[in-house]
Chain A
Amino acid sequence: MNQVINLKTPLTDKDVEPLRAGDRVTITGIVYTARDAAHRRLIDLVEAGKELPFKVEGQVIYYVGPSPAPPGRVIGAAGPTTSYRMDPYAPRLMELGLKGMIGKGKRSDEVKEAIKKYRAVYMAAIGGAGALMSRAIKSARIIAYEDLGPEAIRELEVENLPAIVVNDTVGNDLYIEGTEKYKKK
Chain B
Amino acid sequence: MREISTQAIIDAVKEASISANYELGEDVVRAFEEGIEKEESPVGKDILNQLIENSLIARNQRIPMCQDTGLGVIFVEIGQEVSIVGGDFRSALEEGIRQGYKDGFLRKSVCHPFTRKNTGDNTPIIIHFDIVPGDKLKIWVVPKGGGSENMSQLFMLPPSAGWPGIRQRVVQTVAQAGPNPCPPTIIGVGIGGNFEQSAILAKKALLRPLGSPNPDPELGKMEEELLTEINNTGIGPQGLGGRITSLAVHIRMMPCHIASLPVAVNINCHASRHLELVL
A interface with B by C-beta (< 8 Å): 1, 36-37, 40, 64-70, 73, 76-79, 81-82, 84, 104-106, 124, 126-132, 134-135, 148-151, 164, 174-175, 177-185
**B67 contacts across to A, CB distance below 8 A:** 64-67, 76-79, 81, 130, 150
CB distance from A177 to the nearest CB of B (A): 7
User: Smallest Cβ distance from B152 to chain A, in angstroms?
Assistant: 13
Q: Which residue of B lies closest to A185 (CB)?
A: B232
Query: Would you call B190 an interface residue if the criterion is a C-beta within 8 Å of the partner chain's C-beta atoms?
Result: no
Beta-carbon contact of A150 and B108 below 8 Å:
yes
Interface SS of chain B: loop
Of B42-50, B84-92, B196-204, the segment with at least 4 beta carbons within 8 Å of chain A is: B42-50
Q: Which residues of A contact B238 (CB under 8 A)?
A: 104, 124, 126-127
Cα of A150 to Cα of B117 in the assembled complex, Å: 11
Chain B residues near A67 (CB-CB < 8 A): 63-64, 67, 69, 105-107
How far apart sit A72 and B147, CA to CA, in the bound complex (Å)? 29
Most chain B Cβ neighbours within 10 Å, of A64, A68, A104, A184: A68
A105 vs B118: C-alpha distance when bound (angstroms)? 24
- Cβ of B248 within 8 Å of any chain A Cβ, yes or no, is no
- Using known A-B contacts A1-B46, A128-B182, determine if residue A149 contacts B54 with beta carbons closer than 8 Å: no
What residues on A are CB-neighbors of B262 within 8 Å?
none
B158 at the A interface (CB under 8 A): no
- Inter-chain CA distance A46–B88, complex, in Å, is 49
Q: How far is the CB of B270 from chain A (nearest CB, A)?
A: 6
Q: B61: which A residues are within 8 A, CB to CB? A: 131
- Verify A76–B105 contact, CB threshold 8 A: yes
**Residues on A with beta carbons closer than 8 Å to the beta carbon of B241:** 174, 177-182
Interface size on B, residues (CB 8 A): 53
Inter-subunit contact B57/A178 (CB<8 Å): no
**Assembled-state Cα–Cα distance A65/B66 (Å):** 10
Q: A105: which B residues are within 8 A, CB to CB? A: 147, 178-180, 239
Shortest distance from the beta carbon of B44 to any chain A beta carbon, whole Å: 8
Residue B193 is within 8 A (CB to CB) of chain A in the complex: no
Question: Is the CB–CB distance between B54 and A178 below 8 Å?
Answer: no
Residue contact B62 to A70, C-beta cutoff 8 Å: yes
Indicate which residue in A65, A127, A130, A185 contacts B64 across the interface (CB closer than 8 Å).
Answer: A130
In the complex, 24 of the A-B residue pairs with CB atoms within 8 angstroms, ordered by the A residue number, are: A1-B46, A66-B107, A77-B63, A82-B147, A82-B181, A104-B179, A104-B180, A105-B179, A124-B238, A126-B47, A128-B65, A128-B145, A128-B269, A130-B66, A131-B58, A132-B54, A148-B118, A150-B109, A178-B43, A179-B178, A179-B239, A182-B40, A182-B41, A182-B235
CA distance A94 to B87 in the complex (A): 54
Known: A105-B179, A132-B57, A182-B236. A127 touches B269 (CB 8 A): yes
Look across to chain A and name the residue whose beta carbon is closest to the beta carbon of B241.
Answer: A178
* Known interface pairs A130-B67, A182-B235; 5 further A-B residue pairs with C-beta atoms within 8 A, sorted by A's residue number: A65-B109, A68-B105, A77-B65, A128-B65, A182-B243
Residue of B nearest to A162 (CB): B50
Bound Cα distance A128, B67 (Å): 8
The 7 A-B pairs with the shortest beta carbon distances in the complex, nearest first, are: A178-B241, A182-B234, A183-B234, A127-B182, A105-B180, A184-B232, A131-B58
Contact status A68-B107, CB under 8 Å: yes
Chain B residue numbers with a CB within 8 Å of A64 are 67
Determine if B141 is an interface residue (Cβ-Cβ < 8 Å): no
The residues of B that contact A177 with a CB separation of less than 8 Å are 241
Q: Quick one: given A1-B43, A183-B234, are A106 and B180 in contact (CB under 8 Å)? A: yes
List, in ascending order, chain B residues with CB within 8 A of A182's CB. 40-41, 234-236, 241-243
Q: Which of B105, B146, B233, B243 has the most CB of A within 10 A?
A: B105
> Among the listed B105, B107, B178, B232, which residue makes an inter-chain contact with A183, where contact means beta carbons less than 8 Å apart?
B232
Produce 1/0 per residue, B208-245, CB < 8 A to A: 00000000000000000000000011111011111100
Interface residue? B116 (CB, 8 A) = yes
Contact A69:B57 (CB < 8 A) given known A81-B68, A105-B239: no
B53 located at the interface, meaning its Cβ lies under 8 Å from any Cβ of chain A in the complex: yes
